[in-house]
Amino acid sequence: MPGGGSVTQEEYYGDVFALLKQGEVYLKKVMEMYPNDNTQDELQSILYTKTRIKTPESMMEKLKRRGLETDCRTALANTHDAIGIRVICSFVEEVYRIERWLQKREDIEILEKKDYIAYPKANGYRSLHLIIQFTKFDLQGVEAEIQIRTIAIDFWATLEHQIKYKRNVPHEKTIRRELKRCADEIASVDLSMQTIRDILQSDTWKHVDERSR
C-beta atoms surrounding 111 within 10 Å: 11
Q: Using one digit for the tens of pLDDT, what is the confidence trace for 135-176? A: 998 999 999 999 999 999 999 998 888 777 666 778 888 888
Mean pLDDT calculated for residue range 87-101: 95
Q: Which domains does the chain have, with CATH numbers?
A: 9-212 (3.30.460.10)
Highest averaged pLDDT of the listed ranges 41-50, 152-161, 200-209: 152-161
Query: What average pLDDT does the segment 174-198 reach?
Result: 90
pLDDT reported for residue 2: 46
Burial 14-38, CB ≥16 within 10 A → b, else e: eeebeebbbbbebbeebbeebeeee
Residues of the chain above pLDDT 70, percent: 88
Query: Left if phi > 0, otherwise alpha if psi is -120 to 50, otherwise beta: which for 141?
Result: left
pLDDT at 3 over 50: no
In terms of Cβ atoms closer than 10 Å to its own Cβ (0-12, 13-18, 19+), residue 170 is: exposed
Q: What is the mean pLDDT of residues 94-113?
A: 97
**What is the bridge-based pairing of β-strands 128-134 and 143-150?**
antiparallel
Summarize pLDDT for 11-37 with one digit per residue, the tens. Answer: 999 999 999 999 999 999 999 999 876
Rounded Cα distance between 23 and 30, Å, is 10
Given this model, what pLDDT does residue 120 score? 95
Alpha-carbon gap, residue 42 to 45, rounded angstroms: 9
